[in-house]
């Protein structure tokens, strides 16, 4: 991918530490989900259970390699390099923000996802992904604010725990899919061949609920992990906003968030358990907090003087 810059200022703030709470919560579920995969590996290699867990964890370290992230993670997320018409606007905004945030020494890459949504997100340890709609619709100031917010996620190490959790959840998601698929196969086999064979009919109708229970169990565990990640993720959003303000891009970000509200690109206000499914706090709440911080004197000008 293109639009690569380097950075130096990275630390681990409170939001980054709290982001490991969901990781710890899903560890038992991950260890359980690894059992069937270990049984297959043991049949082929004779490896022990603990050894299989350690191998899987070690394999996850490849995700921290910048080149792997730019290719593998970008591909998994459906991100592409900026087009010829998008690149100049992104390059100008990204260069300005990178200079203001004094980012050096490591590589960042910016990718684009084709979506009719005003959004951007940080992922892996080196990626910033922006929607094509955001590039088209945001002016330069607002685009700088959005990029500054995502870079501040990286500077606070907010994406590390999320990447670890996504790696741990891969076996869980696989078993959820596999259980659902085998349940459908069992039902189809019983319906199709059950009239010809009593054994197939009985076996299919016994196996179907078992596979269904397997799928639902791991799906529930995955949902709980997602809810926990969303809860701590909202804290990370506010923490990144505070960093953006300290670098002088608070008003830029607030302009982008207002654009989201004005265009109806935000989710309607929810209450109760529905909020647990939201990974971001309401845009209006974020704007209010940013404005309050600016009134308290939390603003300084970017190094570019804007």
pLDDT per residue over 247-273, tens digit each? 999 999 999 999 888 776 554 455 555
Compute the residue count for the chain. 306
* φ, ψ of residue 113 in degrees (nearest 5): -115, 140
Distance of alpha carbon 193 from alpha carbon 78, whole angstroms: 40
Predicted local distance difference test score (pLDDT) of residue 273: 53
Predicted local distance difference test score (pLDDT) of residue 264: 64
The more confident residue out of 199 and 221 is 221
Predicted local distance difference test score (pLDDT) of residue 105: 41
| DSSP state string for 117-171 | S--EEEETTTEEEEEHHHHHHS-HHHHHHHHHHHHHHHHTTHHHHHHHHHHHHHH
pLDDT per residue over 114-160, tens digit each? 988 888 888 877 888 999 999 998 999 999 999 999 999 988 888 88
**CA R_g for the chain:** 23
pLDDT per residue over 69-102, tens digit each? 667 667 767 788 899 999 999 999 998 998 888 8
- CA nearest neighbour of 130 among 85, 140, 117: 117
Average pLDDT for 231-253: 90
Domain boundaries, the chain: 5-159, 170-295
Predicted local distance difference test score (pLDDT) of residue 149: 94
Fold designation for 5-159: Zincin-like (3.30.2010)
Whole-prediction pTM: 0.78
pLDDT per residue over 12-41, tens digit each? 788 888 888 889 999 999 999 999 999 999
Average pLDDT value over all residues in the chain:
82
* Neighbour count for residue 233 (Cβ, 10 Å): 22
Q: How far is CA 42 from CA 119, 169, 179, in A?
A: 44, 21, 21
Average pLDDT for 174-198: 81
Predicted local distance difference test score (pLDDT) of residue 61: 78
Predicted local distance difference test score (pLDDT) of residue 8: 46
Residue 1: pLDDT band by 50, 70, 90 thresholds?
Answer: very low
Residue 107: pLDDT band by 50, 70, 90 thresholds?
Answer: low
């Amino acid at each position: 991918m293109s639009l690569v810059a380097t950075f130096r200022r990275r630390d681990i703030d409170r939001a980054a530490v709290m982001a490991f709470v969901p990781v710890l919560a899903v560890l038992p579920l991950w260890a359980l989900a690894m059992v069937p995969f270990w049984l297959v590996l043991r049949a082929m290699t004779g490896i022990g259970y603990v050894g299989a867990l350690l191998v899987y964890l070690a394999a996850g370290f490849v995700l921290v390699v910048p080149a792997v992230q730019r290719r593998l993670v970008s591909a998994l997320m459906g991100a592409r390099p900026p087009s010829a018409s998008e690149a100049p606007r992104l390059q100008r905004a990204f260069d300005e923000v990178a200079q203001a945030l004094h980012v050096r020494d490591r590589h960042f890459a910016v990718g684009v996802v084709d979506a009719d949504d005003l959004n951007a997100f940080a992922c892996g340890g080196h990626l910033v992904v922006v929607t094509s709609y955001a590039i088209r619709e945001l002016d330069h100031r607002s685009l700088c604010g959005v990029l500054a917010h995502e870079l501040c996620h990286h500077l606070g190490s907010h994406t590390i725990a999320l990447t670890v959790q996504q790696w741990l959840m891969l076996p869980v998601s696989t078993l959820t899919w596999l259980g659902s698929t085998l349940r459908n196969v069992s039902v189809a086999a019983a319906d199709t061949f059950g009239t010809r064979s009593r054994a197939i009919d009985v076996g299919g109708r016994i196996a179907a609920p078992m596979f269904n229970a397997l799928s639902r169990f791991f799906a529930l565990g995955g949902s709980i992990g997602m809810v926990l990640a969303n809860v701590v993720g909202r804290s990370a959003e506010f923490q990144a906003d505070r960093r953006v303000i300290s670098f002088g891009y608070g008003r830029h970000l607030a302009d982008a968030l207002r654009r989201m509200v004005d265009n109806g690109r935000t989710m309607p206000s929810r209450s109760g358990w529905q909020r647990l499914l939201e990974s971001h706090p309401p845009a209006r709440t974020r704007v209010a907090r940013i404005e309050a911080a600016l009134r308290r004197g939390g603003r300084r000008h970017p190094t570019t003087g804007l």
